């Protein structure tokens, strides 16, 4: 009998299965965790060996051999293979696509883990005298040789040379002809990290100490929810836990939201710990990403700070995971592989049997419920560290008098008072552009997106109308195409607010921070640095302003239009609104000054506001939890959403109608099937969208159903006409 091992290979195609191949004719059989090139269909793919076995459902004689093996030793350790499989099983996403989506791009493309690179060395016969001799007739050669002699036996790689000596190649040719230098193709090595001086932090207050002790009290897997207002010293608690883990020789992974990874945070880690943490985030280039990944994998990087996909990084000595701002929606990937980095972090910590700490000033109801049920420990930091006072919140009625510009008289008076007192003011409006609506007063014509069921936003600076849903844009028409009247911009976005403030407070500087004004690398950093130094008297911005940064002089926060979430359609609308208000309020008065927060609303009598002012986020979320229990929404039930979209509305619906039929045949009665219905925005970017919601108390039954359903959907007749996805634990129902 043929005992040759069969490779179970994950191939990046939308099919929920592994593919069997035989190993190469010559050479060793690649172990699980190694990449291979396989022929697939008419092309070639980079696949990942996830297991080896002795049997196949396909006749051995018909099995293909892998074309080549890319990794001599497994690229991914067993733990990462486990995580990929878990992700694939939990989110019902094909394993091959999971593997590809979670690997650094260069590895996914089949590049080597340590790409080899040319290095230049001075030859043994080269002497300092040669530099002298060359310096008059060939100064470039002299310069290059001098560098290489300085570098000694390590030599210099070509990237470094290109940065420092733009035309080094010609000089190198000359030197090579003279036999003074050598070029060697060597595998790239990561530079060792520099050790800097570590600075000690403040001594912890009682609540912080107790939090640290409770996390350290158990050796293995525990989940701790570190619940503390902005400025309560959560980061100090993280640092203490990180230090201890590093002392034990283990690695630490810190996950942060997309905008949370600020230079301020990184500097604080560096200053306190005395070395540069490895970073993984979206604005890195492919080689930089690979380097950080590689350094974490080799245990060279002891601390990795990254945004959501960093959760998939192999870390052989991982001893602690921290998820900062666990409530932040950017921790959930919203396209392609739909996963929650926070939830995977918890699963990974459990699998490794290590502690995980989730921090937030506004913890999600899901995590709070786990604390109530005693699955997780709730660690509360009740006050601001260092004695700073919490901000005072006020609700202001804007219904009677606020005009187009969005700033009522009460807020205007407060702004004037705080500015006169030398304070800084932040105005929060979660709507960019000049105005959300352009309308014709003559005939009522609205400027709408041609590809979405949505209005175009007016952008006056750019003189364009833009759709914030699909990115479409067109010139801003001044006159109605229908009746020729002049069009009018209704409502206020951050651009208009900026204009209003400049007009009403001409003696003060206004800085707008949103994704329109912060284009280009470094723009955000520069603006925030200026704002931190107090150079901007008035800051106007979106959500972007409410995270990560603190402004020492900030004493007043104004929420321009707080009503956006009050009557939202999503069951999480009130939780979300409370989170964004509390987060932005947390910017006020962090140091010496007590801050004020003014919330403008057209519904000042709404009980939500009383509760928020009187008992803060804890009060609002306790109410929301009761309501969720009564209405049976998460965390009191589990959801999965099947979405489809197509150019024809009927195609999108038919796919889900058929899915519904299949589900009704195979699902247990524990699962409620709601829909299909149109998505809240039924047409987006020219595609019609529909959805089918599954709700249950029985998580196992839901997973069993989805496991059976997914291959059926993959095989469905219409599967290629529509784009479809399964979203387990969706964070938004549209």
3-class SS of residue 617: helix
| Least distance to ligand ADP, CB of residue 608, Å | 25
Tally of residues, the chain = 734
- Strands 638-646 and 457-459: what pairing? unpaired
| Least distance to ligand ADP, CB of residue 499, Å | 33
| DSSP-derived secondary structure letter, 340 | B
The sign of the dihedral angle between the CA atoms of 8, 10, 11, 14 is positive
| Least distance to Zn ion, CB of residue 535, Å | 36
| Contacts of ligand ADP in 459-518 (CB under 6 A) | none
With CB under 5 to 8 Å by kind, the binding choice for 534 among ligand ADP, Zn ion, none is none
The sign of the dihedral angle between the CA atoms of 596, 597, 602, 608 is negative
With CB under 5 to 8 Å by kind, the binding choice for 443 among ligand ADP, Zn ion, none is Zn ion
Q: Out of 101, 361, 447, 480, which residue is the one contacting Zn ion (CB under 5 A)?
A: 480
**Considering the rule CB under 5 A, would residue 451 count as an interface residue with Zn ion?**
yes
Q: Out of 349, 470, 588, 722, which residue is the one contacting Zn ion (CB under 5 A)?
A: 470
**Considering the rule CB under 6 A, would residue 208 count as an interface residue with ligand ADP?**
yes
- HSE value, Cβ hemisphere, 13 Å, CA-based, for 468: 15
| DSSP-derived secondary structure letter, 204 | P
Stretch that binds ligand ADP, among 229-237, 253-261, 497-505, 672-680 (CB under 6 A): 229-237
Residues near 130 by beta carbon (within 8 Å), at least 6 away in sequence: 145, 180
| Least distance to ligand ADP, CB of residue 212, Å | 11
| Least distance to ligand ADP, CB of residue 253, Å | 18
**Considering the rule CB under 6 A, would residue 385 count as an interface residue with ligand ADP?**
yes
Rounded Cα distance, 255 and 279, in Å = 10
With CB under 5 to 8 Å by kind, the binding choice for 676 among Zn ion, ligand ADP, none is none
**Considering the rule CB under 6 A, would residue 546 count as an interface residue with ligand ADP?**
no
With CB under 5 to 8 Å by kind, the binding choice for 385 among Zn ion, ligand ADP, none is ligand ADP
**DSSP alpha helix (H) spans, 155-297:** 158-164, 168-177, 206-216, 234-247, 263-273, 286-297
- Name which of 658, 645, 656, 724 is nearest 688 in CA terms: 645
**Considering the rule CB under 6 A, would residue 616 count as an interface residue with ligand ADP?**
no
**Considering the rule CB under 6 A, would residue 552 count as an interface residue with ligand ADP?**
no
**Considering the rule CB under 6 A, would residue 204 count as an interface residue with ligand ADP?**
yes
With CB under 5 to 8 Å by kind, the binding choice for 451 among ligand ADP, Zn ion, none is Zn ion
Stretch that binds ligand ADP, among 184-192, 234-242, 480-488, 633-641 (CB under 6 A): 234-242
With CB under 5 to 8 Å by kind, the binding choice for 304 among Zn ion, ligand ADP, none is none
Rounded Cα distance, 277 and 269, in Å = 7
- Name which of 287, 288, 279, 285 is nearest 309 in CA terms: 279
Tokens of 235: 């980061």
| CA dist 113 → 76, 107, 291, 302, 306 (Å) | 11, 7, 9, 19, 20
Of residues 368 and 725, the one with the C-beta less far from ligand ADP: 368
- Residues 258, 282 contacting (CB under 8 angstroms): yes
**Considering the rule CB under 5 A, would residue 440 count as an interface residue with Zn ion?**
yes
Give the x-and-dash track for 386-405 against ligand ADP (CB under 6 A). x-------------------
Rounded Cα distance, 63 and 28, in Å = 18
Q: How many CB atoms lie within 10 A of CB 191?
A: 9
Of residues 176 and 472, the one with the C-beta less far from Zn ion: 472
Stretch that binds Zn ion, among 106-114, 173-181, 211-219, 474-482 (CB under 5 A): 474-482
With CB under 5 to 8 Å by kind, the binding choice for 230 among Zn ion, ligand ADP, none is ligand ADP
Residues near 436 by beta carbon (within 8 Å), at least 6 away in sequence: 455, 457, 458, 490, 491, 493
Rounded Cα distance, 249 and 612, in Å = 44
With CB under 5 to 8 Å by kind, the binding choice for 234 among ligand ADP, Zn ion, none is ligand ADP
**Considering the rule CB under 6 A, would residue 230 count as an interface residue with ligand ADP?**
yes
With CB under 5 to 8 Å by kind, the binding choice for 470 among ligand ADP, Zn ion, none is Zn ion
| Least distance to Zn ion, CB of residue 516, Å | 16
Q: Rounded to an integer, what is the distance from CA 374 to the centroid of its chain?
A: 29
Q: Write the secondary structure of 496-543 as one string of H (helix), E (strand) and C (coil).
A: HHHHHHHHHCCCCCEEEECCCCCCCCCHHHHHHHHHHCCCCCEEEECH
Q: Rounded to an integer, what is the distance from CA 570 to the centroid of its chain?
A: 22
Rounded Cα distance, 723 and 647, in Å = 10
With CB under 5 to 8 Å by kind, the binding choice for 325 among ligand ADP, Zn ion, none is none
**Considering the rule CB under 6 A, would residue 202 count as an interface residue with ligand ADP?**
yes
| Least distance to ligand ADP, CB of residue 304, Å | 19
Binding stretches for Zn ion (CB under 5 A): 440, 442-443, 445, 449, 451-452, 467, 469-470, 472, 480, 482-483, 485
Binding stretches for ligand ADP (CB under 6 A): 202, 204-205, 208, 228, 230-236, 385-386
């Amino acid at each position: 009998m043929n005992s040759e091992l069969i490779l179970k290979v994950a191939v990046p195609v939308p099919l929920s299965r592994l593919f069997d191949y035989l190993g190469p004719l010559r050479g060793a059989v690649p172990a699980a965790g190694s990449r291979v090139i396989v022929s697939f269909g008419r092309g070639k793919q980079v696949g990942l060996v996830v297991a080896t076995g002795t049997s196949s459902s396909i006749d051995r004689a018909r099995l293909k051999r892998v074309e080549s093996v890319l990794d001599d030793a497994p690229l991914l350790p067993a733990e990462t293979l486990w995580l990929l499989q878990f992700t694939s099983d939990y989110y019902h996403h094909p394993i091959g696509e999971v593997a590809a989506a979670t690997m650094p791009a260069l590895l996914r493309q089949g590049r080597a883990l340590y790409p080899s690179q040319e290095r230049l060395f001075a030859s043994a016969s080269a002497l300092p005298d040669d530099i002298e001799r060359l310096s008059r007739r060939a100064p470039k050669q002299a310069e290059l040789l001098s560098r290489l002699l300085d570098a000694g036996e390590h030599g210099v790689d070509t990237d470094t040379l290109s940065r420092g000596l733009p035309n080094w190649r010609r000089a190198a040719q000359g030197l090579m002809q003279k036999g003074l230098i050598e070029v060697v193709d060597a595998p790239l090595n990561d530079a060792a990290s520099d050790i800097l001086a570590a600075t000690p932090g403040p001594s912890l207050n009682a609540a912080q100490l107790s939090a640290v002790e409770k996390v350290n009290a158990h050796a293995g897997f525990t989940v701790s929810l570190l619940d503390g207002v902005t400025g309560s010293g959560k980061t100090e608690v993280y640092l203490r836990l990180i230090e201890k883990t590093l002392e034990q020789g283990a690695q630490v992974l810190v996950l942060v939201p997309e905008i949370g990874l600020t230079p301020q945070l990184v500097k604080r880690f560096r200053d306190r710990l005395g070395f540069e943490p490895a970073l993984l985030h979206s604005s890195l280039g492919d080689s930089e990403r690979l380097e950080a990944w590689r350094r974490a994998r080799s245990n060279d990087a002891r601390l990795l700070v990254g945004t959501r996909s960093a959760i998939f990084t192999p870390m052989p000595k991982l001893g602690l995971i921290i998820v900062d701002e666990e409530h932040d929606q950017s921790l959930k990937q919203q396209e392609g592989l739909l996963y929650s980095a926070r939830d995977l972090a918890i699963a990974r910590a459990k699998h490794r049997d290590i502690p995980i700490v989730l921090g937030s000033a506004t913890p999600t109801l899901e995590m709070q419920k786990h604390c109530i049920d005693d699955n997780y420990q709730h660690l509360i930091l009740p006050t601001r560290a260092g004695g700073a006072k919490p901000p005072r919140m006020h609700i202001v009625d804007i219904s009677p008098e606020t005009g187009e510009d969005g700033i009522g008289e009460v807020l205007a008076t407060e702004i004037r008072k705080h500015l006169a007192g030398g304070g800084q003011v932040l105005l929060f409006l979660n709507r960019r552009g000049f105005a959300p609506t352009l309308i014709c007063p003559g005939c009522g014509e609205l400027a709408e997106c041609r590809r979405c069921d949505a209005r175009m936003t007016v952008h006056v600076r750019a003189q364009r109308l833009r759709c914030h849903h699909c990115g479409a844009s067109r010139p801003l028409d001044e006159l109605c195409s229908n009746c020729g009247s002049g069009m009018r911009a209704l409502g206020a976005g951050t651009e208009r607010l900026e204009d209003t403030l400049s007009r009403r407070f001409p003696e003060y500087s206004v800085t707008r921070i949103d994704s329109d004004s912060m284009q280009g690398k470094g723009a955000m950093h520069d603006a925030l640095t200026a704002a931190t130094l107090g150079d901007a008297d008035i800051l106007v911005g979106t959500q972007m302003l409410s995270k990560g940064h603190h402004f020492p002089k900030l004493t007043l926060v104004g929420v321009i239009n707080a009503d956006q979430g009050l009557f939202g359609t999503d069951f999480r609308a009130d939780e979300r609104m409370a989170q964004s208000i509390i987060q932005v309020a947390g910017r006020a008065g962090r140091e010496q000054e007590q801050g004020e927060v003014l919330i403008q609303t057209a519904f000042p009598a709404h009980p939500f506001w009383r509760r928020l002012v009187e008992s803060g986020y804890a009060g609002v979320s306790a109410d929301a939890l009761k309501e969720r229990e009564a209405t049976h929404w998460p965390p009191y039930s589990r959801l999965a959403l099947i979405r489809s979209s197509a150019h024809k509305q009927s195609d999108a619906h038919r796919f889900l109608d058929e899915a519904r039929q299949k589900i009704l045949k195979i699902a247990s009665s524990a699962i409620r099937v709601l829909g299909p219905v149109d998505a809240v925005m039924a047409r987006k970017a020219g595609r019609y969208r529909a959805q089918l919601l599954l709700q249950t108390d029985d998580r196992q039954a839901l997973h069993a159903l989805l496991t059976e359903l997914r291959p059926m959907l993959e095989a469905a007749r219409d599967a290629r006409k529509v784009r479809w996805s399964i979203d387990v634990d969706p964070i938004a129902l549209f």
